[in-house]
């Protein structure tokens, strides 16, 4: 069993996501940085859909009541197992009574804790990902306890993308309404650095933007990675818990890797878009 001694700033349980329910208004959810969550699971030999703890920005303390292997991947945090520092992307054996303590993020924003064989959590709409109004809880709480499942594992498969997530270049393709923006804004999109103003699991917002506009579209489907342009010229990058429809022009689209990279950015970080063609 693993028990939450400190719930940190924002800790959720996530798997690959909740697919097939957007027609009912249910977001996809799932790990924001799928590269890192998959990496942690793969190093342990878990299925990449095994649930993990997603820890954002700072905090989190976990008590283990039995021996098990764990792996941590994603942002670089201050991390202690009892009194010893531990590091990302390696198998770590914890013993009964060990306490795993996460401090603040030193590089990046989100880190993932995977447990060999997985742990028990509620399966709702074919996913264990937390999402408010769908799951009982939206974040883990102090005192929560999770039984270890000991699901069968396979040979370790180290995906190893540890540095990609810290890039500041975000690859994007043209969205359905890209042609609405003028030539100057099209150049700005690829030449200008954009500064993150705020972020959460629903979306990323940027301080600077493009020209103000009066574009209007019929409310249309959006997915994680869709980048919308508001009338003020500011852009919103929709993330895993974002809505499934929107009325702002969809000028760009990120892929899974780009979402992972952006999810590791915090307020004040700068990114630049690189326009690519889908093949």
Report whether pLDDT(26) > 60.
yes
Report whether pLDDT(185) > 80.
yes
Q: What local confidence, expressed as pLDDT, does residue 151 receive?
A: 85
> In this structure, are strands 84-85 and 61-64 parallel, antiparallel, or unpaired?
unpaired
Beta bridge partners of 148: 119
Give the residue among 114, 119, 113, 124 at the shortest CA–CA distance from 146: 119
Q: What local confidence, expressed as pLDDT, does residue 279 receive?
A: 55
In tens, the pLDDT along 235-260 reads 999 999 999 999 999 999 999 999 99
167-275: what CATH class? Answer: mainly beta
For residues 246-275, average pLDDT? 97
Q: What local confidence, expressed as pLDDT, does residue 161 receive?
A: 63
Q: With 0.75 as the threshold, say if the pTM is over it.
A: yes
Confidence category of residue 155, pLDDT binned at 50, 70, 90:
confident
Where are the chain's structural domains? 2-146, 167-275
Report whether pLDDT(141) > 70.
yes
């Amino acid at each position: 069993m693993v028990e939450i001694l400190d719930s940190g700033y924002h800790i959720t349980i996530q798997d690959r996501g909740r697919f097939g329910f957007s027609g009912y208004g249910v977001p996809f959810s799932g790990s924001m940085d799928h590269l890192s969550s998959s990496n942690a699971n793969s190093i342990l030999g878990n299925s990449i859909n095994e649930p993990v703890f997603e820890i954002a920005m700072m905090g989190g303390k976990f008590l283990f009541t039995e021996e098990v292997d764990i792996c941590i991947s994603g942002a670089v945090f201050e991390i202690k197992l009892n009194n010893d520092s531990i590091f990302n992307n390696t198998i770590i054996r914890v013993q009964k009574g060990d306490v795993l303590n996460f401090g603040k993020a030193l590089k990046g924003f989100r880190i993932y804790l995977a447990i060999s064989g997985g742990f028990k959590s509620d399966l709702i709409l074919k996913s264990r990902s937390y999402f408010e109004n769908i799951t009982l809880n939206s974040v883990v709480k102090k005192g929560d306890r999770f039984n270890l499942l000991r699901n069968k594992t396979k040979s370790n498969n180290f995906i190893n993308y540890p540095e990609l997530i810290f890039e500041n270049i975000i690859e994007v393709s043209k969205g359905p309404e890209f042609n609405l923006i003028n030539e100057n804004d099209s150049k700005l999109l690829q030449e200008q650095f954009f500064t993150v103003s705020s972020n959460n699991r629903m979306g990323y917002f940027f301080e600077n933007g493009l020209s103000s506009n009066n574009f209007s579209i019929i409310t249309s489907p959006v997915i994680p990675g869709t980048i919308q342009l508001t009338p003020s010229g500011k852009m919103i990058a929709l993330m895993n818990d974002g809505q499934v429809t929107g009325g702002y022009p969809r000028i760009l689209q990120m892929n899974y890797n780009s979402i992972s990279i952006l999810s590791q950015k915090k307020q004040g970080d700068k990114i630049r878009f690189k326009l690519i063609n889908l093949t």
